[in-house]
Structure 1
Amino acid sequence: MRIHGLALLAVAALSAPRPLPTLTFSDPISTLTVLPGETVRLEAMDRRWSWTAPPTPGLYPIRVVSEDQRDSMTIQAFVLVPYSELRGEYLHGYRIGHYPAQALRGLDLYRPPAGFIEVTPENADAFVSPHFQLKQFVCKQAGGYPKYIVLNAQLVQRLEKLLALVNASGYSASTFYVMSGYRTPAYNHAIGNVLYSRHTFGSAADIFIDEDHDGQMDDLNGDGRSDERDARVLYDLFDGPQSGGGLGKYAPTEAHGPFVHVDLRDRRARW
């Protein structure tokens, strides 16, 4: 699968509104996931329009240009491979595994995803937000391309806000190292994680700052070491009074260094 050409939209010439829920975009780069043929109503640069996804899964960047041509933004529209194309545990040869038959506590956020983003060598480097790329969220399980992931755009938005908070607090971070993003249910089971892990729904990330690119958390507290106290620095920054969802800090082990877990869930959880 390849990246399809930019759809250039002059804001002054957008189509008439339709009675659909409106998805609003304001960042220079944002992510949209839709099923083939699905029509969505979009808002950007003070204008609204309807867009119908092509029938073929892939990445369809939509570049929106302001009426005066001075500003622009890109909506990275990923047309999903529908969940219905799963055959047993496999999607086009890539092992996904099985999602739980029943949603946890009957909540929609624990139901199987509508579909999967197909990741290829051509689109893996695509930015899904100003500071994060698609490849950062790919599952670690073995296997070649194409790979398939679930990615909740709200998770990416939250990571962008946390990254801005880190830099505003005096630390330097061009992005977060995503140690674990999406996990297929098969991989999640293989590493012994819980059945309803938010990772399997594309709504969790295990992250740390790694500006020296050594694969370990940077020394954030200045004590000359990379340990749980550096994870505590991030944890304390992220744990504001308005922060919801899940947040956890982890000490280093033989398998990994210190990191912080961030997820989207229906309730506040801390550990």
Structure 2
Amino acid sequence: MKITFLGTGTSQGIPIIGSTHPVCLSIDKRDKRLRVSVLLEWDENCFVIDCGPDFRYQMLRAQVSNLDGVLFTHEHADHVAGLDDIRPFVFKIGAMPIFGIKRVLDDLKRRFAYIFETKNRYPGAPKVVVNEIDLSPFEIGNKTVIPIEVMHGKLPVCGYRIENFAYLTDVKTISENEKDKLKGLVVLVLSALRIEPHYSHLNLEEALQLIDELKPQKAYLSHISHKLGFHAEVEKQLPKNVFLAYDELEIEV
């Protein structure tokens, strides 16, 4: 399975509009981060986890011509605001399968009511096939997806495990039962917002502690803010099996 990091930034992205913070002024390409999302490809299958406000550009940049579905982690704008931009795929291949827990799908139905309208639909509105999930495994393509519940402060968020790969974003805490689902990973993608503690996100120290506990072969940090620091400097301080993800990074699992 090929994983492409479409975006590795936090809710405002990097650089932040109008900011003069040194990381926002960096000329290192790895310090320029769109809102967080990953592209998963295997055989003839192509799925994304989350589609935030940068989704259109991310699809163009990655030269994605077909998409088989969208898995949502939670309903915050930096993870869902690009849903309307599935339209070119829908016009090409038909209604787009979307996957999410009931709370997330209900929020999408309010936010994008015209997409879910069954009467008097606007002809240009994208069509979706709604797949409500819970914490039970489900199938996409020929692979099994295991949802992982993590807590984003007080908000439950879905991470996903596919074979030996797991993707967890907007994490602050995770129960012991859910940690059990993350044993034996080859690659773990985990959010690490900044150096200082945060009330609803892991900081760098907490993320490294969780990685040490879960013991994946490799871990990639994502959902990064400018307050984590320069990519080149931070990565030098990481354990040998831990890396900072960056936009357009491709890995194979």
Task: Pick the structure with more helix per residue.
Answer: 2
**For this structure pair, what is the TM-score category when the shorter chain's length is used for normalisation?**
under 0.3
TM-score w.r.t. the length of structure 2 is: 0.27
Q: Which has the higher Rg, Structure 1 or Structure 2?
A: 1
